[in-house]
Amino acid sequence: GAVVSQHPSWVICKSGTSVKIECRSLDFQATTMFWYRQFPKQSLMLMATSNEGSKATYEQGVEKDKFLINHASLTLSTLTVTSAHPEDSSFYICSARAGGSSYEQYFGPGTRLTVT
């Protein structure tokens, strides 16, 4: 149980285009989903926290207009990187939490984004 999927697993796009990444909890309802970014040889950096049906809470320094997050259902959250630039190239990982007394987050397999 507790499987989280991400799609696509890798994507290459041209500078200036937008890319949407999906995060799905497959066998549980995720009241909260988290989006992280990881640069090579660095740890995971939290970008934003999203609760189903409400606006995402962004971490300091993360542009909410550039990284659009939608958490429209209890099993799906999307991250859209708008007007992507080469410096947005990174590994994007989502995680999902079931809520209640569950503190554990379940991670998706990640999406490798390369902007050319």
Partner 1 sequence: EDKVVQSPLSLVVHEGDTVTLNCSYEVTNFRSLLWYKQEKKAPTFLFMLTSSGIEKKSGRLSSILDKKELFSILNITATQTGDSAIYLCAVTSGSRLTFGEGTQLTVNP
Instruction: Give the CB-side neighbour count of residue 51, counting CA atoms within 13 A.
Output: 4
Residue tagged 């999307």 (tokens):
78
In the list 28, 79, 95, 115, the residue contacting partner 1 (rule: CB under 8 A) is 95
Closer to partner 1 by Cβ: residue 81 or 93: 93
Nearest approach, Cβ of residue 38 and partner 1 (Å): 9
Residue 114 is which amino acid? T
Closer to partner 1 by Cβ: residue 30 or 115: 30
Does 50 interact with partner 1 (rule: CB under 8 A)? no
Q: How far is CA 26 from CA 16, 63, 92, 98, 99, in A?
A: 32, 29, 19, 12, 15
User: Which residues of the shown chain bind partner 1 in the complex (CB under 8 A)?
Assistant: 32, 34, 42-46, 49, 93, 95, 97, 103-110
